[in-house]
């Protein structure tokens, strides 16, 4: 075998067989005895075989040569050059064996031809002897499978293993030993592009010798178990020795903590993002549902126009992805929509509350001032009520708004009537147009009417009254004024009639002055049908006119005093009895007291009182922190501390639970990642893992 090197071996000399051929007379040598000859060689070894010559026989120099070679029973003439035989006088042969050209350990039979003289010098003789040797095979002691454990860490720590080789036959030296990997190692059924670092130079191993080889690798094997084979070859081995090996590569278990925390963080971020997106989607759905209603409300109700900016604000927050701001804006929008609907619902309820009392008021035939007309408001209220019953909200709203406008006009008319009534009562109270007797008769009625007018508030469209009570109050006040008018009119007529009677007695029945005074005392007033306030004004104007006519006929101080008290008849009688009465042309005095139109009553609007601040002091109003914001901030801090502590405890728990089976394969990484991804870093999660830790 070419390129093979044998260092030491043993050929066992089994048998020497003598063969005679047809030439010569007798054998030259005895058959060699069985013997074991040491055979030491490197590439070319020499076997020495001593010969025992027959008596009288001689061997010729250079007469020995190899004529046949058999391996077992098979002749292999190609091996003749490997066994070169030489005769060494006086009686031995040497066989030079070229080990590079023989198959290896097996049984070889070599036929050597000898030439010489057997006894007769004139008769040369040849003899063939066969020599059989057995080259035993070398043996290696059983080798246990190699296990290399490799831990990937920072810094990297690669594992090593040792291979113990020992020649166990004790007879054969192994030469040119080489180690190799005959096939690519496999990791989880997949070829691994990585080999062990094996000795590259061949080496020898003497019989019975041991050698310890260090097995390392330069690169990084895949995580998990990688299996492969090491093949040991040597010429002296019958067949290569195969040693299986395993490389267990794992990632350091500190990666459990890092992976668990990282997965938990990713899970938190993903959940937060998904929750945020889910929340945004839900808010958007709620917003779209609210938008249609809000836009319809804004189109229908003028007071709901502020909903449009709110809609735009919510839409912008949703577009920006600001979940909290969008939620707050949407809640504000929903609240505003609810307020508008509630206000409108209240308005509808108030419509019904208004419509029924107004209808009842009209049906009962109660009287209102002539300037107050309920017919338009009543018609609008009836139309609005009918539209609402038919669920025609647009028409109902239109009629309702028209009814409110009509009622506002009613209220303002009542307020104007109230001012006129108060002015009339003030003329009665401050003037001297009526006699004391007349004022005394109507004084209680005037006081009652004044009190009712005082209790009747001025109409305010922003704070509309309860209409049934409000209209009843107007009706009762008007009735009180009508009673006052009737009483004052009767008293004035009596006083005027007495004055005309006295003047006729003084000037004569057909006196021009008497006729003038009688004509001035004529009061064209229908108390039962007219407006009491207008009637009071007319009565007072007539009384004032009447008083001025009487003033023309009285000149004495006594008579004027009586006239000032409203005693017309007494003033004329006093003037007549004083005998100082002269027939003078009428003189209209311009000293009449001017009547002032009373100022409109105040609207009743509330005015804030001034708060006094001592001089030199500055009042500073501090805006306190919003309690909701403060509570959220405190809750955020508590949650952060809780999450930090829980993450530390749970990561240690994960390390304890998984480190026993941890290798770092894809399955391991996925398992830890999934566990961390779906773990909530809360105290509740810590409490749930405690029982599992107790069982570990």
Spell out the domain ranges in the chain: 8-134, 146-252, 409-577, 634-695
Chain-centre distance of CA 580, in angstroms?
109
Higher pLDDT, 626 or 190: 190
| 117-126, 186-195, 294-303, 520-529 — most confident range | 186-195
Q: How far apart are CA 243 and CA 579, in angstroms?
A: 169
Which residues 6+ apart lie within 8 Å of 40 measured at CB? 7, 8
Q: Lowest mean pLDDT: which of 94-103, 456-465, 608-617, 667-676? A: 608-617
Chain-centre distance of CA 475, in angstroms?
65
Higher pLDDT, 551 or 128: 128
pLDDT of residue 244: 92
Cis peptide before 514 (omega within 30 of 0): no
pLDDT of residue 68: 92
Task: Find the angle CA(551)-CA(556)-CA(561) to the nearest 5 degrees.
Answer: 70
The per-residue pLDDT of the chain, averaged, comes to 72
Strand segments (E) across 203-356? 203-205, 210-215, 224-233, 241-251
Instruction: Provide the pLDDT confidence category of residue 133 given band limits of 50, 70 and 90.
Output: confident
Closest CA to 379 of 406, 414, 361, 408: 406
The helix-helix angle for 323-363 and 254-300 (nearest 10°) equals 30
Class of domain 146-252: mainly beta
Q: How far is CA 304 from CA 233, 297, 337, 348, in A?
A: 98, 7, 8, 16
Q: How far apart are CA 177 and CA 234, in angstroms?
A: 5
Would the pLDDT of 578 be above 70? no
Would the pLDDT of 606 be above 50? no
Task: Find the angle CA(417)-CA(419)-CA(422) to the nearest 5 degrees.
Answer: 110
Token digits for 527? 């108390």
Token digits for 48? 């020495």
Closest CA to 163 of 212, 114, 196, 209: 212
pLDDT of residue 359: 62
**Cα torsion for 304, 306, 309, 310, to the nearest 10°?**
-70
Q: Lowest mean pLDDT: which of 11-20, 255-264, 306-315? A: 11-20
pLDDT digits (tens, 9 = 90+) for 61-109: 888 898 999 988 888 888 888 889 988 888 888 888 877 677 777 788 8
Q: How far apart are CA 460 and CA 470, in angstroms?
A: 12
pLDDT digits (tens, 9 = 90+) for 635-652: 667 777 777 777 777 777
Higher pLDDT, 276 or 234: 234
pLDDT of residue 243: 92
pLDDT digits (tens, 9 = 90+) for 360-395: 666 555 677 777 777 787 788 788 777 777 666 677
Using CB atoms within 10 Å of the CB of residue 285, give its burial: 0 to 12 exposed, 13 to 18 middle, 19+ buried.
exposed
Chain-centre distance of CA 533, in angstroms?
72
The percent of residues above 90 in pLDDT, for the chain, comes to 2
Q: How far apart are CA 252 and CA 238, in angstroms?
A: 44
Q: Could you tell me the end-to-end alpha-carbon distance of the chain, in angstroms, rounded to an integer?
A: 63
Closest CA to 548 of 523, 571, 574: 571
Q: Lowest mean pLDDT: which of 39-43, 216-220, 448-452, 512-516? A: 39-43
Q: What is the mean pLDDT of residues 251-265?
A: 79
| Long-range CB contact pairs, 376-384, < 8 A, 24+ | 376/406, 376/409, 377/403, 377/406, 377/407, 377/409, 377/410, 380/406, 381/351, 381/354, 381/355, 382/355, 384/351, 384/355
**HSE on the CB side for 432, CA within 13 Å?**
15
pLDDT of residue 195: 74
Would the pLDDT of 157 be above 70? no
Residue 50 host element (H or E): strand 44-50
Would the pLDDT of 593 be above 50? no
Q: What is the mean pLDDT of residues 651-664?
A: 73
Instruction: Provide the pLDDT confidence category of residue 439 given band limits of 50, 70 and 90.
Output: low
Q: What is the mean pLDDT of residues 426-434?
A: 71
Which residues 6+ apart lie within 8 Å of 132 measured at CB? 13, 14, 15, 107, 108, 109, 110
Cis peptide before 90 (omega within 30 of 0): yes
Q: Lowest mean pLDDT: which of 251-265, 343-357, 447-461, 552-566? A: 343-357
Instruction: Provide the pLDDT confidence category of residue 231 given band limits of 50, 70 and 90.
Output: very high
Q: What is the mean pLDDT of residues 135-151?
A: 82
In DSSP terms, 146 is beta-bridged to 245
Q: How far apart are CA 499 and CA 554, in angstroms?
A: 12
């Amino acid at each position: 075998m070419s390129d093979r090197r044998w260092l030491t071996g043993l050929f066992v000399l089994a048998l020497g067989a003598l063969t005679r051929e047809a030439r010569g007379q007798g054998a030259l040598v005895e058959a060699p005895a069985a013997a074991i000859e040491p055979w030491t060689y490197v590439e070319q070894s020499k076997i020495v075989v001593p010969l025992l010559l027959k008596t009288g026989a001689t061997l010729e120099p250079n007469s020995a040569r190899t004529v046949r070679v058999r391996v077992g029973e098979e002749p292999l003439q190609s091996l003749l050059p490997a066994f070169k035989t030489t005769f060494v006088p006086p009686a031995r042969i040497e066989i030079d064996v070229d080990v590079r050209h023989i198959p290896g350990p097996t049984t070889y039979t070599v036929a050597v031809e000898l030439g010489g003289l057997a006894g007769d010098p004139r008769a040369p003789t040849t003899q063939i002897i066969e020599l059989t040797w057995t080259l035993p095979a070398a043996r290696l002691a059983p080798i246990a499978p190699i296990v290399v454990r490799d831990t990937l860490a920072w810094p990297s720590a690669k594992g090593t293993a040792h291979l113990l080789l020992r020649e166990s036959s004790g007879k054969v030296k192994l030469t040119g030993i080489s180690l190799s990997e005959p096939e690519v190692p496999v990791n989880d059924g997949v070829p691994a592009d990585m080999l062990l670092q094996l000795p590259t130079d061949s080496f020898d191993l003497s019989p019975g010798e041991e050698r310890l080889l260090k097995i390392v690798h330069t690169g990084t094997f895949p995580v998990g178990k990688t299996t492969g084979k090491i093949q040991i070859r040597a010429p002296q081995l019958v067949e290569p020795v195969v040693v299986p090996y395993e490389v267990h590569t794992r990632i350091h278990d500190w990666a459990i903590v890092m992976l668990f925390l990282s997965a938990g963080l990713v899970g938190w971020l993903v959940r937060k993002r998904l929750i945020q997106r889910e929340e945004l989607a839900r808010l958007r759905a709620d917003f779209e549902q609210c938008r249609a209603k809000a836009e319809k409300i804004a189109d229908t109700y003028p007071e709901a126009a502020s909903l449009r900016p709110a809609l735009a604000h919510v839409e912008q927050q949703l577009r920006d992805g600001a979940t909290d701001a969008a939620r707050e804006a949407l809640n504000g929008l929903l609240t505003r929509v609810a307020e508008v609907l509630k206000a409108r619902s209240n308005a509808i309820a108030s419509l019904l509350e208004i419509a029924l009392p107004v209808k009842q008021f009209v049906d009962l035939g109660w009287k209102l001032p002539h300037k107050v007309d309920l017919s338009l408001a009543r018609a609008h209220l009836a139309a609005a009520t009918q539209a609402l019953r038919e669920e025609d909200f647009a028409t109902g709203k239109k009629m309702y708004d028209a009814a409110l406008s009509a009622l506002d006009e009613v209220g303002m008319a009542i307020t104007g009537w109230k001012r006129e009534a108060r002015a009339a009562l003030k003329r009665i109270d401050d003037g001297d147009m009526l006699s004391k007797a007349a004022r005394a008769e109507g004084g209680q009625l005037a006081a009652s009417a004044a009190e009712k007018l005082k209790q009747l508030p001025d109409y305010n469209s922003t704070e509309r009254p309860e209409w049934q009570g409000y209209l009843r109050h107007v009706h009762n006040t008007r009735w009180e004024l009508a009673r006052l008018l009737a009483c004052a009119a009767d008293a004035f007529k009596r006083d005027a009639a007495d004055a005309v009677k006295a003047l006729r007695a003084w000037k004569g029945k057909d006196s021009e002055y008497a006729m003038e005074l009688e004509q001035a005392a004529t009061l064209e007033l229908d108390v039962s049908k007219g407006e009491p306030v207008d009637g009071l004004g007319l009565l007072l104007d007539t009384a004032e006119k009447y008083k001025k006519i009487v003033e023309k006929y009285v000149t004495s101080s006594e008579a004027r005093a009586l006239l000032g008290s409203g005693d017309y008849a007494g003033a004329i009688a006093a003037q007549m009895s004083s005998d100082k009465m002269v027939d003078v042309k009428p003189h209209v005095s311009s000293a009449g007291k001017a009547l002032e139109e009373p100022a409109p009553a105040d609207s009743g609007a509330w005015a804030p009182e001034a708060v006094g601040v001592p001089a030199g002091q500055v009042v500073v109003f501090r805006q306190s922190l919003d309690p909701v914001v403060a509570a959220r901030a405190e809750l955020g801090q508590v949650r952060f501390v809780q999450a930090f502590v829980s993450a530390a405890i749970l990561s240690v728990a994960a390390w304890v639970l998984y480190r026993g089976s941890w290798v770092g394969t894809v399955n391991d990484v996925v398992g830890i990642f999934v566990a961390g991804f779906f773990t909530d870093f809360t105290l509740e999660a810590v409490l749930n893992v405690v029982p599992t830790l107790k069982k570990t």
